[in-house]
A = this chain, B = another copy of it.
């Protein structure tokens, strides 16, 4: 919660509860998934607070809002450089790691024109569970 104070944000019980759930998660939850999880320990919390807090956290770099193919925004508690496999059937987003991908060079013409903040390789396909 140092990160909160550092950004002039108050340290509230709601923020602490959401943060704790976030760091123990290993998947890519939607705002509603986080809400359902957090409300088990904090029955009076509102969806709006969870959603707003996740967006606040993404602004101060605690979570990432990641690319998706569905209508729900997906958050990623793992903010290190890694890559994603999207299953087109079950919509799950699966992490994978590759030094080769991490070290990809940004093309010159892009570097000249734009400011690149992050890069990621996104694979689409069918996961092992959906193949049967």
Contacts and interface: CB of A to CB of B under 8 A. Distances in A.
Interface of A: 65-69, 71, 73, 85-88, 94, 96, 98, 100-101, 104-107, 109-110, 113-128, 131
Contacts of A73: 69, 71
11 contacts: A67-B122, A71-B73, A85-B110, A96-B109, A100-B105, A114-B126, A115-B125, A115-B131, A118-B124, A119-B121, A120-B124
Copies of the chain in the assembly? 2
A26 B117 CA distance: 24
A83 to B, nearest CB: 9
A96 B116 contact: no
Contacts of A113: 127-128
A93 to B, nearest CB: 10
